[in-house]
Amino acid sequence: MTKLNPNGKAFTELVLEVFRLNGRLLEAGDRLTQPVGLSSARWQILGVVEHGPITVAHVARIMGLTRQSVQQTANSLEKEGLIEFLENPHHRRSKLMAMTPEGRKALDYTQEQHAVWANKIGEEHDLDCLRAAVDVLRQVSKSLSHE
């Protein structure tokens, strides 16, 4: 059996910490978005849709999610009037998601709450350390994309 070398052990610790952090970030996101009926997942989708009409498949690729999970979330967002599906001139069956005024209000509220929260948490940490952490995560992500 192959044993972990020091780099492999450090990478494993990083992965486990990212998993724990992901859970905490999703919980925090759910708390931030709850007053406007969103969740972290719904916030993520609206955050992509705010840039302009986009297909479910394209959102899934951007976010690294399955098309089915994005479709379920999009259907829920549409049912609650936060997005609408528009005809896609480039594809007959693949509709475009677009934000409604109600979706815009929910996202504006969430983005304001996020800014307050991010500033508070960010102030607890050294700026250079935060930037270094982002760099490492991007490098690891790039390594994983080459597998």
pTM higher than 0.75, yes or no? Answer: yes
Note whether 96 and 54 are within 8 A (CB). Answer: yes
The rounded distance, in Å, linking the Cα atoms of 101 and 82 is 7
Express each pLDDT in 102-146 by its tens digit. Answer: 999 999 999 999 999 999 999 999 999 999 999 999 999 999 988
Q: Is the pLDDT of residue 147 over 80?
A: no
CB neighbours of 80 closer than 8 A, spacing ≥ 6? 37, 102
Side chain identity at residue 108, one-letter code = D
Sign of CA dihedral 89, 90, 93, 96: negative
Overall fold of domain 45-113: Arc Repressor Mutant, subunit A (1.10.10)
The rounded distance, in Å, linking the Cα atoms of 97 and 109 is 20
Side chain identity at residue 147, one-letter code = E
Note whether 99 and 49 are within 8 A (CB). Answer: yes
Nearest of 25, 30, 77 to residue 50 by alpha carbon: 77
Confidence of residue 87 (pLDDT cuts 50, 70, 90): very high
The rounded distance, in Å, linking the Cα atoms of 7 and 139 is 14
How far from chain centre, in Å, is Cα 97? 16
| Domain map (residue ranges) of the chain | 45-113
Express each pLDDT in 31-44 by its tens digit. Answer: 999 999 999 999 99
